[in-house]
Amino acid sequence: MGIKVLEEKCIGCGLCLKVCPFAVIRLENKKAIIDEAGCNLCGACVEACKKFEAIEIKREEQTSQTKDLSAYKGIWVFAEHREEKIQNVTYELLGEAQQLAKELKCEISAVLCGDSNIEEEADHLFAHGAQKVYLVTDPELKNYKTATYTRVITELINKYKPEIMLIGATTTGRDLAARLAIRVNCGLTADCTGLAIDPEKKILLQTRPAFGGNIMATIISPNHRPQMATVRPKVFRKSKIQNPKSKNIIRHKTDLKPEDLVVKLLEIIKDESVKVNLADAEIIVSGGRGIGEAKNFQLIKDLAKVLGGAVGASRATVDAGWISAHHQVGQTGKTVAPKLYIACGISGKIQHLVGMQGSDTIIAINKDADAPIFKVATYGIVADLFDIVPALTKKLQEIRG
Ligand SMILES: Cc1cc2nc3c(=O)[nH]c(=O)nc-3n(C[C@H](O)[C@H](O)[C@H](O)COP(=O)(O)OP(=O)(O)OC[C@H]3O[C@@H](n4cnc5c(N)ncnc54)[C@H](O)[C@@H]3O)c2cc1C
């Protein structure tokens, strides 16, 4: 594996320098020189040099012929925790892993890294369906840091060889999954909205929106292991608490190197400005472009308040500057699955639907009877939201005293 400048073809045009995102290419005597230590083989320079074909990348070919895929067994879920409390997305992934494991007839494991007292959390993982927990403890693993977590989980994957690895598409999970995929040389499907097993080939079918959400693409990784996917919180249901089938803890000793410890966590400062917790809300009232202007969000807020719910929004309203992006539901916003989702003046474009169609009950208020939101709505009200929303709020206020 490596990158090479073919001197006889390089004319010293400098195109590669301009596109290198890591600034590791320089010109010497009108020839490009690449500092391999800083290069991550992204291929931008090869693309820029297409005309001269003076840069070559040799990637390690790990196909099913060279890598024994049958050695990879079981489904792993990364146990994400914050302040030493396992995050719900982990339980959601364990729930989905149980469905996949039925097809594969394999074991489900969780990967838990942290300080010594994180071991107490292993019981929650067992109760949510993990049969095995790979546990790595070290004071340096108390909080998530890219280098340390990547190091230990890479060690685990290389040693114990999971067939599938599922990670929450959270800020932490997205950061970790990308690094791991590079380290263990496997593919990664980010932000999946559906997972299944191909009944014949027994490989993971990873579905996610593609081309701006206009199609749903199903992606496979037939030649590399593990098959790695991230899934956003609330896409799957949390697994039910159950009596553990087994409680097998595999302790792994890691030997963190000084180069893994270059980042020091000095302080954790919570962003107090984010007061919206859409992901955990049981009721969400969302406003779309149909509300007409920013000040009319008050109608949505009033209804949300009387219901004890949170305020959501379509991207059209966020882009218009009517409300902050923290409220956005959808493909580029949050994925939510409340008990009740009320969509007011939202057309129901696919990019919005992928973020809320998992809600238990959906009520849509829209004056266009053909609006696509009605296809996913449990109850549809074809009417002017300015008539319906205030009337509903008033009635609920009366009922609630
Ligand atoms: C890559 C990409 C990512 C995207 N990500 C997201 C995302 O995360 N979330 C998201 O929401 N969108 C997203 N979008 C944008 C999405 O395609 C739509 O443009 C957007 O969802 C439309 O918002 P809307 O329904 O509020 O507005 P519109 O589509 O304009 O719909 C407004 C609706 O209000 C109705 N209406 C108007 N007046 C009234 C009234 N008085 N009473 C009742 N109904 C009324 C209309 O009939 C209409 O159906 C994304 C787009 C792209 C390309």
Average pLDDT, the chain: 93
Measure the CA–CA gap between 88 and 68, rounded to whole angstroms. 34
What residues are paired with 340 via a beta bridge? 283, 361
Cα–Cα distance between 349 and 368 in angstroms, integer?
A: 13
Handedness of CA 313, 316, 322, 323 (dihedral sign): positive
| Gap between the Cα atoms of 26 and 10, Å rounded | 13
Minimum mean pLDDT among 38-42, 108-112, 245-249, 356-360: which range? Answer: 38-42
- 323 CB within 6 A, ligand 1: no
Any atom of ligand 1 within 6 Å of the Cβ of 345: yes
The Cβ-side half-sphere exposure at 201, using a 13 Å CA radius, reads 10
Least confident interval from 173-187, 224-238, 268-282, 299-313: 268-282
pLDDT at residue 66, as a whole number: 57
Residue 87 has what pLDDT? Answer: 96
Q: Taking the alpha carbons of 178, 184, 186, 192 in that order, is the dihedral positive or negative?
A: negative
- Per-residue pLDDT for 273 more than 60? no
388: pLDDT confidence band, cut at 50, 70 and 90?
very high
Question: Does 288 contact ligand 1 (Cβ within 6 A)?
Answer: yes
Arithmetic mean of pLDDT, 78-107:
96
Q: pLDDT confidence of 283, banded at 50, 70, 90?
A: very high
- Whole-Å CA distances, 96 to 191, 193, 260: 14, 11, 32
pLDDT digits (tens, 9 = 90+) for 241-259: 988 878 899 999 998 888 8
Angstrom distance (rounded) from CA 182 to CA 180: 5
CATH class as words, domain 69-258: alpha beta
What is the reported pLDDT for 211? 76
Q: What pLDDT does residue 180 have?
A: 96
CA-nearest of 54, 20, 59 to 38 is: 20
Neighbours of 161 (CB within 10 A): 18
As beta bridge partners, residue 192 has: 231
pLDDT confidence tier of residue 90, bands split at 50, 70 and 90: very high
Between the CA of 316 and the centroid of ligand 1 the distance, in Å, is 5
Q: Are 223 and 66 in contact (CB under 8 A)?
A: no
Binned at pLDDT 50, 70 and 90, residue 272 comes out as low
For a mutational test of ligand 1's pocket, the pick from 211, 296, 351, i.e. the residue with the most ligand atoms closer than 8 A to its C-beta, is 351
**Burial class (CB within 10 angstroms; exposed 0-12, middle 13-18, buried 19+) of 225:** buried
Q: Is 357 in the pocket of ligand 1 (CB under 6 A)?
A: no
Q: Is the CB of 312 under 6 A from ligand 1?
A: no
Which numbered atom of ligand 1 lies nearest the CA of 317? 26
- Asked whether the bond before 21 is cis by omega within 30 degrees of 0, the reply is no
Q: What is the CATH number assigned to the segment(s) 2-58?
A: 3.30.70.20
Give rounded-to-5 percent helix, strand, coil for the chain: 35, 25, 40
Among protein residues, the one whose CA lies closest to atom 38 of ligand 1: 290
Cα–Cα distance for residue pair 396/194, rounded to 1 Å: 37
Domain borders along the chain are 2-58, 69-258, 278-400
pLDDT at 60: 63
Structure confidence by residue, pLDDT tens digits, 138-164 = 999 999 999 999 999 999 999 999 999
Residue 289 Cα, ligand 1 centroid: separation in angstroms?
Answer: 6
Measured between alpha carbons, how far is 338 from 257 in angstroms, rounded to an integer? 44
Q: What is the pLDDT of residue 63?
A: 52
pLDDT tens digits, one per residue of 291-348:
999 999 999 999 999 999 999 999 999 999 999 999 999 999 999 999 999 999 999 9
More confident position, 60 or 156: 156
Return the CA Rg of the chain. Answer: 25
Q: Which residue has the higher pLDDT, 134 or 23?
A: 134
DSSP character for 277?
-
Using one digit for the tens of pLDDT, what is the confidence trace for 23-38? 999 999 999 999 887 8
Residue 277: pLDDT over 90: no
The pLDDT assigned to 262 comes to 87
The per-residue pLDDT for 61 is: 59
Phi, psi of 284 (to 5 degrees): -130, 130
Res. 353: pLDDT tops 80 = yes
How far is residue 265's CA from residue 9's CA, in Å, rounded to a whole number?
47
Q: Which atom of ligand 1 is nearest the CA belonging to 350?
A: 17
Region 101-118 average pLDDT: 96
Count of C-beta atoms within a 10 Å radius of residue 220: 14
Residue 2, beta-bridge partner list: 58
Tokens 């409680």 -> residue: 247
The arithmetic mean of pLDDT across residues 100-109, rounded, is 96
Instruction: Look at residue 58 in the predicted model and tell me its pLDDT.
Output: 83
Using alpha carbons, list the distances in angstroms from residue 269 to 32, 82, 272: 44, 13, 9
CATH of domain 278-400: 3.40.50.1220
On the question of a common fold for 69-258 and 278-400, the answer reads yes
At residue 386 the predicted structure's pLDDT band, cuts being 50, 70 and 90, is very high
